[in-house]
């Protein structure tokens, strides 16, 4: 099928192209889409040079599938235009995630809610995806009442300009910055813009998207999102209060049997998930699994995943694979 990648020159767009190759998704024609200034530039798909086109040119191609990762404004304007051309849109921005009629999908959790009539499908936020991958099977068994999460998010979540800022700072080069403060040798408790309630948009995404994906608005969630000077992936310290008693052996058994989740938890051998070891992998890794000694029915977890892969590109392509396997495309 014809597949358009909108935002093909960005970090997520580039990762989508690699994953289409890796997973051998049936692409008859790749349509890489970027801004006017990138039009005519070349990317490679299976080592074959493919010219980048504009959004207007891509619409004329009438792709069966459009994977969008170019920001909310682009998604709000062009997603409906793609669907008018017969495309199914999987959107990686925040534009459609909380729209009541748009499905927010992590395939291992809720792909079954998708139907043939879904023409725009929302890909969740990267930090949300990795958290719900671990929490969903635990919620089914023990019912989560409350979540407190602190994230430690890679600069790759901001984009190539953030990587350049960090690398320039490490090299002593003065250049344009995308963060309001230095990021190298620093941590910024500031992911996305601040809202009137004192939280950032990133923090509130963790609240609202988790409730929507788990289909449970009663779950109480408090989040603090921090940008850290790493490139391998996002990390999260998650504290969970359950409605039912649990034993640690049960937690290990449930997570070990959960598709897409890998347990790495042997502190005696210094084995636990880290961005440097999950980089380039599609699984969500969890470790430091221990009871919260300060509360009843409470658990602490450490969750790490490559935010460009399962946190964005891989999840989107897994959605497309589900649509294909069910003949929705």
Model confidence pLDDT, tens digit, residues 246-278 = 999 999 999 999 999 999 999 999 999 999 999
The two three-digit tokens of residue 83, written as one number: 């669907």
CATH 3.40.50.720 residue ranges in the chain? Answer: 2-124+312-325
Per-residue confidence band for 282, with pLDDT thresholds at 50, 70 and 90: very high
Per-residue confidence band for 49, with pLDDT thresholds at 50, 70 and 90: very high
Active site residues: 126, 234
The structure tokens 């000694």 sit at: 293
CATH 3.30.360.10 residue ranges in the chain? Answer: 127-306
Model confidence pLDDT, tens digit, residues 190-206 = 999 999 999 999 999 99
Q: Which CATH number fits domain 2-124+312-325: 3.40.50.720, 3.40.50.2300, 3.30.420.80, 3.40.605.10?
A: 3.40.50.720
Task: Tell me which residue of 196, 192, 105 sits closest to 153, measured CA to CA.
Answer: 192
Q: Distance between CA atoms of 300 and 195, rounded to whole angstroms?
A: 28
Homologous superfamily of domain range 127-306: Dihydrodipicolinate Reductase; domain 2 (3.30.360.10)
């Amino acid at each position: 099928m014809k597949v358009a990648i909108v935002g093909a020159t960005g970090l997520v767009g580039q990762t989508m192209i690699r994953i289409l190759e890796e997973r051998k998704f049936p692409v008859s024609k790749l349509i890489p889409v970027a801004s006017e200034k990138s039009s005519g530039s070349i990317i490679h798909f299976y080592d074959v040079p493919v010219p980048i086109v504009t959004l207007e040119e891509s619409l004329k191609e009438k792709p069966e599938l459009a994977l969008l990762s170019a920001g909310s404004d682009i998604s709000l304007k062009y997603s409906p235009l793609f669907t008018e051309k017969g495309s199914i849109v999987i959107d990686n921005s925040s534009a459609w995630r909380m729209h009541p009629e748009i499905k927010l999908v992590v395939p291992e959790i809720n792909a079954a809610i998708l139907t043939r009539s879904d023409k725009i499908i929302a890909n969740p936020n990267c930090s949300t995806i990795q958290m719900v991958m671990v929490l969903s099977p635990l919620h089914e068994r023990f019912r989560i009442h409350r979540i407190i999460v602190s994230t430690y998010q890679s600069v790759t979540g901001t984009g190539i300009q953030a990587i350049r800022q960090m690398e320039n700072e490490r090299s002593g080069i003065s250049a344009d910055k995308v963060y309001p403060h230095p990021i190298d040798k620093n941590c910024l408790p500031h992911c996305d813009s601040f809202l009137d309630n004192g939280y950032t948009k990133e923090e509130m995404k963790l609240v609202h998207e988790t409730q929507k994906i788990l289909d449970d608005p009663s779950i109480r969630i408090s989040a603090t999102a921090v940008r850290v000077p790493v490139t391998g992936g996002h990390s999260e310290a998650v504290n969970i209060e359950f409605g039912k008693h649990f034993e640690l052996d049960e937690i290990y058994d449930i997570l070990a049997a959960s598709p897409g989740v890998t347990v790495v938890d042997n502190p005696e051998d210094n084995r636990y998930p880290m961005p440097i070891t999950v980089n380039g992998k599609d699984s969500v890794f969890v470790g430091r699994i221990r009871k919260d000694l300060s509360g009843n029915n409470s658990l602490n977890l450490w969750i790490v995943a490559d935010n460009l892969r399962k946190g964005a590109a891989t999840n989107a392509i897994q959605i497309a694979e589900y649509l294909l396997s069910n003949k929705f495309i």
